[in-house]
């Protein structure tokens, strides 16, 4: 059952437009006046990795993805995107 849940979660996860999500994360981060370096420090990541997620649409690990969308309440954006597909 756990393997099936992970497979379903991963297939849903791969449907997202990570470029748009990255832009939403960047906008939310800037709105909250958090620097890329501060965010990277909170998540124990390199600032360049955050930059790649925000600007190039790099697909983060599921854990990083979850942390970012919950930290900045991006879930509403994702639900709207899923409904439009």
List the one residue out of 18, 19, 51, 20 whose CA is nearest residue 36. Answer: 51
The radius of gyration computed from the CA coordinates of the chain, to the nearest angstrom, equals: 13
User: Residue 3: inside a domain, yes or no?
Assistant: no
Q: Locate 20 and state its tokens.
A: 């748009």
pTM for the predicted model, two decimal places: 0.72
User: Residue 6: inside a domain, yes or no?
Assistant: no
Number of domains into which the chain is organized: 1
Expressed as residue numbers, the domain containing 57 is: 17-84
User: Residue 45: inside a domain, yes or no?
Assistant: yes
**Tens digit of pLDDT for each residue in 3-57?**
555 554 555 556 677 888 898 899 999 999 999 999 999 999 999 999 999 999 8
- Cα distance between residue 82 and residue 55, in whole Å: 21
CATH number at residue 68: 1.10.260.40
- Return the pLDDT at 11: 57
């Amino acid at each position: 059952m756990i393997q099936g849940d992970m497979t379903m979660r991963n297939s849903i996860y791969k449907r997202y437009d990570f470029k748009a999500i990255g832009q939403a994360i960047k906008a939310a981060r800037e709105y909250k006046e958090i620097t890329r370096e501060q965010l990277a420090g909170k998540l124990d990541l390199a600032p360049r990795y955050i930059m790649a997620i925000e600007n190039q649409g790099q697909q983060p690990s599921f854990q990083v993805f979850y942390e970012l969308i919950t930290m900045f309440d991006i879930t509403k954006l994702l639900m709207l995107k899923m409904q439009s597909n």
